[in-house]
Structure formats: C-alpha cells, structure tokens
Amino acid sequence: MEQIKDFNTYKTAYQKSIENPEAFWAEISEEFLWYKKWDKVLNWNFETPEINWFDGGTTNICTNAIDRNLEKFGDRTAIIWEPNSPDEAAKKFTYRELHQAVCQCANALLSLGIAKGDRVCIYMPMVPEGAIAMLACARIGAIHSTVFAGFAVESLRDRINDSECKLLITADAFHRGEKTVELKTIADEALKQTPSIQHCLVFNRTNTPINFVQGRDIWWHDLVPQQATTHEPEQMEAEAPLFILYTSGSTGKPKGVVHTTAGYMVFMAYTFKQVFNYRDGEVFFCTADIGWITGHSYTIYGPLLNGGTTLMFEGVPTYPDHGRFWDIVDKHKVNILYTAPTAIRTLEMFGTDIFKAKNLSSLRVLGSVGEPINEEAWHWYFENAGKKNCPIVDTWWQTETGGILISPIATVTPLKPAFATLPLPGVQPILVDENGKEVVGNPAEGRLCMKFPWPGMARTLYGNHERYKQTYFSTYPNLYFSGDGAKRDENGYYRITGRVDDVINVSGHRIGTGEVEEAINSNDLVVESAVVGFPHDIKGQGLYAFVICNSDVTDTETLVKEIKHTVNERIGAFARPDKIQIVPGLPKTRSGKIMRRILRKIAEGDTSNLGDISTLIDPSVVETILKSAV
Ligand code: WT7
C-alpha cells in the first residue's frame, strides 16, 4: 500500500477515491491474504440499509495481522506490554511468539466448544492476553464482544445477555494506579444471571484468591499453554461479523455495534498507515483501553495489520507519578503517541517540570482522539511532548465508524489547532441543517453526516437492525448521521463542535444520559431524574443530575451519596455524576417532555438567557431550581 507522502498525493488519492471508490479500495485490498478474491467491491443502500464490501471474498483478519507478517517480520516485536507498576518487568511478544500464543488460545477456545459465529465476552484488563483472546476469536471465526474492565456487574451482565455469549474470558483482578479491581468477583455476580454462559476462562494476573466454580471456571494457565502452537484459521466470508462493541446512545440500553471482517480489516490497515504516517519498525503507543473502539482499531488491529510494534500499557498516566507516559516513551523509544485530550489536560495541571528529565527524542508523531481538543491543550501537547517538531493528528471518528474518518495525515496535511481538518480518502462528509438540507460553500456549520459508505463502517446493531436504521439513517434520508455538529472553515477544514444529541463525552468516555437516569431512578427513594452535561476543565464534560426524591426523604446528603454509589454499581465509576441537585420538580412541557435545554443552561451556569420558558407547565420550577443550583 502506497504511503501518502505529500499534500498533492493526498488530493489525487482523495479525488480518485470519490470518482471511483471501488477501484480505489480494490487496489488497496490486493495486498491482503484472501482465500478467495471478492466478486464485487461494494453493494450498498442507506435505505434498508445494507452495506456489503468485498462480496464473495473470504479471508481472516487474524491471519492478515499475524501470519502474513511471519516471513518478513517473525522476530520483530509485535506487542510490548508495560505493566501498571514500573517495578514489574515489561513483556514483549515477537510476531512468532504472538502467532503461537494466539494459535494456542484458538485451540483452547475450540476445546471449550466455541465455534464460528459464537459470541465470546472478553472482560479483561490491559494485558497481552486480552489482545490474544480477541485475535484467537477472530482466528476461529467467533465474534468477540469486549467489555471495558471499568464496567460494573449490571453493565457486564446486560452486554453478555444481549448477544448471548457462550464464554466469558476474564482475570482474577488487576491493579490500575493505586487501585485494585477484583474483576472475577464482579464477573461472578454477573454470571448469576447469564444463562448463555457455559464457561469462564480466568487469567491469573495478580494471584488474588478467587471463588472458583468447578465445571464452569477454567484457569487460563491450566488450558491455554498446553495447546498446540499451530492452528488452521477459519476462512471467513467478507461480511461475517468480527466483533460486537457496545456503546451508548441518547436513549435506551447500550447498542451492540457490529463490525464485519474484510471491510474493517482493510480500513484499519489503511487509516493506521496513512494517518500516523507509520514507518516500518516504529513503536506505536495508543493509550486507549482494549475495551473501547480505539483499543480495538489502533492498539491492536491497525498496527498488527501493518506488521508494526504496538505498546499496551496497563496503568494510568499519573502513576506512580505524572511523568509515567514520558517515562514509557523514553523506555521503549516510542515513535508515535496516540492519546486523549482528557489525559493531556490532566497532565497539564502538574506543570512542565516533569519534562526536564525526559528525553522524548524518539517521538515523531502525536495523536489525539475521543473528544474535541481545545487549543490550549493542543499547544501544550505540541510544545512539551512534541518539542514543536511532531505533527498532531486530531482524529475524528466513532465506535460506529470503526476507524478514523476526518484527520490530518501526519507530515502531509497542514495543521490547524483544534481542527480535525480533512476527510481521509474514501470518506465523503456533508454538513446539513436541522431539516437535512445540505449546507453548501465555506465557511459553514451544520450536522455532520456521510453520504457514501466506507469499508470500516458498522453494518448493524446486534439483533436490532431496525434500531440501526432508526439511529443512523432515518434522521436524514440517504445519509449516515454521526450525532455530531461541525464547522467547516474557508479552506474546507472541519472542526467538530460536539454532540447534538443526548450523548455526553466524559473524559473521552461516551455516556448516554438515559442510562445514567435509569441507574439513578433505580434507587427507591428517587422519583425521577434528568442528567445533562456541563463543561469540565479536565474531563471535557461532566455529568449534572437533577433528581426529584420521595417527599419523605429528609437526609438529602446521604441520598446524594447513595445515588453516586448506585451509578457506580450499575454502570461503573466513570459514569458517576459530578454534581447532583435534589429538586422539587423538572421543567416539563405540556406533553410531559423535559426541557433539557434549560437544565443544560443551569448546569453550565449560564442563566442570563434561559430562552422561552412559557411552554412549561410550571415555569416557577425553573426559579426554584436556579436558587439551589450546585
Ligand atoms: C464521539 C464518538 C473516536 C473513537 C473514540 C470515541 C467524539 C471523537 C473526536 C475528535 C471531537 C471527537 C465525537 C464522536 N469525538 N473524536 N477528534 N474531535 N470529537 O468513540 O466512544 O464512539 O465516541 O466522540 O462526539 O461522536 P466513541
């Protein structure tokens, strides 16, 4: 695959990808291992919707990520693993070692009765075995559903049940900073209500004593290392599901976003190589957890599909001190660092002294992902981490897009702080107004949609194609609607302004207000609640909950604590509201709809102009809420 080396080449590639998308993607796809070549590159419609890439072709993404690299790069490091504590030794897997480990895991899964099409839930810390489990699933054609290890019992349980997973892969426990998370204890609770689960494969990470259920539970070390180190991969149809990843929407329960084999493979390989300008032999460090899409696409699949070296970090940027990222960069000679604005803003708080003792000369490219990066954080990152000579790629994408859609191409696209800049080749964005009418010309502002499919896009929501259609293709006919608002400057550069729906982005974690409300409402003392976002210096956005409680509640302080606890237990600590205000009522229209616009203004502290409140049943409730705002 040819690397885009200058801006003109980008423009030519972009032009070609628009004029003849099928020829464009066919050429890129040639270099992969196919058991059978495709008959047709693309069939699609955004009405039903049905998107079909590389129809008739068969391949295996694991073979392409590992086996294909063995001959040339067998002894090259595929994965570097840096543990939570710097006192523990780092681990490395060459491509050959990774191949053996993945084959062993694949054979272990088969021995547990897992077959092509079965769902496997992976609830693991940031250890190589998490990646190995995912790759092994892909190898045998099982569908992995990775659940972020920060999720609590009920979230885990619901995700397992939604896709009826047969196997759960987890660990005894793990350390993250100073904290210990007893993963198996949480899993045990969830497994009380997951009838589809037959076995639980447990990786021993910390020697924490666990409750071991005979017959159901199996230790990883008793099963996996005993297996044969070769395995004949399953030949997968191009559109066979590769994985499910749950994400939050504005309403209802989490959605099981489904990505399929060949399109995802081609798109991750392409976007990784181009966006980061990845060069052979470089060390790539993506700080995202494998429980999120960034971890899937750019900690694991993207780098490995390019024969690259990827670094997995188990810990947090502030442990044992706030220089940890930079120590890792120096220790492993990291060339490309890809992290989230929230991490940058956290480190920014500690000042720049920490950089004095760091070298950082290995760094060549920096990346940002997950939320808008504000200009201040951009400059701080550029000057302190990049020493003013590393381009920053501000990459815009989503769980549903599979990979990066709008981003500078490192060393190629002229940068503009806080702008995701231009669409990658093959990506056709369009801005529309509230009625779906295209906003033409520059500068412009509108809702960000896509008018043409790209290979890495989600194909459906697990078990609910209708919801897929409703959520992404029904707001504006014949367009994929991202849920984000965006501006386009006079040069056509995009700046993402944030969600226009009820999804909130807290520290790069996507949270649906509906989910948090449901958790809060599950407390018996709560009558109703409404959750909105507000600007937060570090997290980007924080959660503000307005709660109506039973009239017999006198101790509201305890109630507030309890509500936080409930959210912790039901979703996970990252979704705990930052502010909770007990209110006597919520601003509702005559039809019973909560006017979130008003609550958002109050949460933002911007109460000078609340807009028209005359359509409320009881406008005085606004006054009362304002008086006790927290
Ligand atoms: C939402 C998707 C991208 C993978 C990780 C998050 C926001 C993402 C950017 C960016 C501004 C961004 C959007 C998007 N977002 N990247 N570079 N600039 N906003 O995936 O959890 O599916 O969240 O994150 O609002 O819709 P996700």
* Per-residue pLDDT tens over the stretch 346-399: 999 999 999 999 999 999 999 999 999 999 999 999 999 999 999 999 999 999
Q: Minimal CA–CA distance to 319: which of 357, 346, 285, 290? A: 346
pLDDT of res. 28? 98
Q: Ligand 1 centroid to 376 CA: how many Å?
A: 19
- Cβ contacts of residue 187 below 8 Å, gap of 6+? 123, 156, 168, 170, 200
Kindly indicate the confidence band of residue 325, based on its pLDDT and cuts at 50, 70 and 90.
very high
User: Are 68 and 308 spatial neighbours (Cβ–Cβ below 8 Å)?
Assistant: no
Supply the residue whose CA is at minimum distance from atom 8 of ligand 1. 370
Q: If residue 131 lies in a helix (H) or strand (E), which one and from where to where?
A: helix 128-140
DSSP, collapsed to helix, strand or coil, labels residue 100 as helix
Mind listing the pLDDT tens digit for each residue in 189-247? 999 999 999 999 999 999 999 999 999 999 999 999 999 999 999 999 999 999 999 99
3-state class (DSSP) for residue 430: strand
How many angstroms does the Cα of residue 320 sit away from the middle of ligand 1?
28
User: Picking from 117-126, 442-451, 541-550, 587-596, which range would have the lowest pLDDT averaged per residue?
Assistant: 587-596
524 conformational bin, left if phi > 0, alpha if psi -120 to 50, beta if neither? alpha
Q: What integer is the mean pLDDT of 129-142? A: 99
Specify the 3-state DSSP secondary structure of 245. Answer: strand
- Give 458-510 pLDDT, tens digit per residue: 999 999 999 999 999 999 999 999 999 999 999 999 999 999 988 999 998 99
Using 50, 70 and 90 to split pLDDT, how confident is the model at 21? Answer: very high
Q: How far is the CA of 238 from the centre of ligand 1 (A)?
A: 27
Q: What is the pLDDT of residue 542?
A: 96
Find the 507 Cα to ligand 1 centroid distance in Å: 11
Which tokens hold the place of 269?
A: 């390989």
- The DSSP code sequence of 478-545 is TSEEEEEEEEE-TT--EEEEEESSSEEEETTEEEEHHHHHHHHHTSTTEEEEEEEEEEETTTEEEEEE
The number of residues in the chain equals 630
C-alpha 257 – ligand 1 centre gap (Å)? 15
**Pocket residue to mutate for ligand 1, from 368, 449, 500, 510, most atoms within 8 A of Cβ:** 510
Please identify, by atom number, the ligand 1 atom nearest to the C-alpha of residue 510: 21
User: CA-CA distance, 123 to 184, in Å (whole number)?
Assistant: 9
Six-digit token pair at 114? 């897992």
Residue with CA nearest ligand 1 atom 18: 372
How much is the pLDDT for 504?
A: 93
Asked if 339 contacts 108 with a C-beta cutoff of 8 angstroms, the reply is: no
Task: Return the best residue to mutate from 147, 258, 484, 494 for the ligand 1 pocket (most ligand atoms within 8 A of CB).
Answer: 484
Q: How far is CA 51 from the centre of its chain?
A: 22
Distance CA 627, CA 545 (A): 16
Ligand 1: nearest atom to the Cα of 397: 3
Name the token pair of 342. Answer: 């929230």
Mean pLDDT of all residues in the chain?
96
- What is the position in ligand 1's atom list of the atom closest to the CA of 399? 22
pLDDT at 250 over 80: no
Q: Has residue 251 got a pLDDT over 80?
A: no
Is 161 strand, coil or helix? Answer: helix
Sign of CA dihedral 177, 182, 184, 187: negative
Query: Which residue minimizes the CA distance to atom 14 of ligand 1?
Result: 398
Measured from CB, residues less than 6 Å from any atom of ligand 1 are 247, 293-294, 369-372, 394-399, 420, 482-484, 496, 498-499, 505, 510
Nearest CA to ligand 1 atom 11: 372
> Does position 617 have pLDDT exceeding 90, yes or no?
no
